[in-house]
């Protein structure tokens, strides 16, 4: 395991009972306050993906918008935002997904990604996997290829990987 990962883990603040009782919230804002740990985070992803012929980094609103763009710039890929409903002005495709409480939806501009493009999906965290699953569905719907999903944090006990239909997932930190 890369020695930088321990430093990254120590900068993620865990906030008990936020936003609801029983939830251990993984707060990445404290990671962002540490330029070395934030850079190490981006560098680890860039080192992994720079020679993989990826032309699209798709970032999931909201926290995938923090980690996705610096990765996209460094590997020479375009950045495509996958947004919550009714935020994008152009023609969109939508994908609903199930959350712990209720449903949500992600949208992507039609034409942002072309058939056959090789995509990396980026978010801060995978819990149940519903969000990443919806993101992959959007990209595959337009004929793109999802090469891998990348997150800073995984909550393995929620078994989100099982919802990714065998698609590879790369994470830096596991939280039990």
**Is residue 124 at the binding interface for ligand PRP, with CB under 6 A as the rule?**
yes
In the set 63, 83, 161, 163, the catalytic residue is 63
Q: What angle do CA 9, 166, 43 make, to 5 degrees?
A: 35
| Catalytic residue list contains 100 | yes
CA 61, CA 124: separation in Å to the nearest integer?
A: 10
Burial (CB count <10 Å: 0-12, 13-18, 19+), residue 102: exposed
The count of chain residues that interact with ligand PRP, using the rule CB under 6 A, is: 14
**Is residue 131 at the binding interface for ligand PRP, with CB under 6 A as the rule?**
yes
Binding part of the chain for ligand PRP, among 2-10, 45-53, 110-118, 125-133 by CB under 6 A, reads 125-133
Per-residue contact track with ligand PRP, 12 to 31, x per CB under 6 A?
--------------------
| Catalytic residue list contains 63 | yes
Which partner from the list Mg ion, ligand PRP, none does 160 bind, CB cut-off 5 to 8 Å by kind?
A: ligand PRP
Alpha-carbon torsion, ordered 166, 169, 173, 176, to 10 deg? -20
CA 77, CA 18: separation in Å to the nearest integer?
A: 35
- Which candidate, 166, 137, 172, places its Cα nearest to that of 154? 172
Binding part of the chain for ligand PRP, among 33-41, 55-63, 66-74, 108-116 by CB under 6 A, reads 55-63
Considering beta carbons, is residue 54 or 125 the nearer one to ligand PRP?
125
In the set 47, 96, 100, 114, the catalytic residue is 100
Q: Which residues bind ligand PRP (CB under 6 A)?
A: 60-63, 123-131, 160
Known catalytic residues are 63, 100
């Amino acid at each position: 395991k890369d020695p930088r990962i321990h430093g990254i883990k120590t900068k993620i603040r865990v906030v008990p009972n936020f936003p609801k009782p029983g939830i251990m919230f993984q707060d990445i804002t404290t990671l962002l306050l540490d330029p070395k740990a934030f850079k190490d985070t981006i560098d680890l992803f860039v080192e992994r993906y720079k020679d993989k012929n990826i032309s699209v980094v798709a970032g999931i609103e909201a926290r995938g918008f923090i980690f996705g763009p610096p990765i996209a710039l460094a590997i020479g890929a375009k950045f495509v935002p996958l947004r919550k409903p009714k935020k994008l002005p152009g023609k969109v495709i939508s994908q609903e997904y199930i959350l712990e409480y209720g449903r949500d939806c992600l949208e992507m501009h039609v034409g942002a990604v072309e058939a056959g493009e090789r995509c990396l999906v980026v978010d801060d965290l995978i819990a149940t996997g519903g969000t990443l699953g919806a993101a992959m569905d959007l990209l595959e719907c337009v004929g793109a290829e999802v090469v891998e999903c990348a997150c800073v944090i995984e909550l393995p006990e929620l078994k989100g990987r099982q919802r990714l239909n065998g698609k590879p997932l790369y994470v830096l930190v596991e939280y039990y």
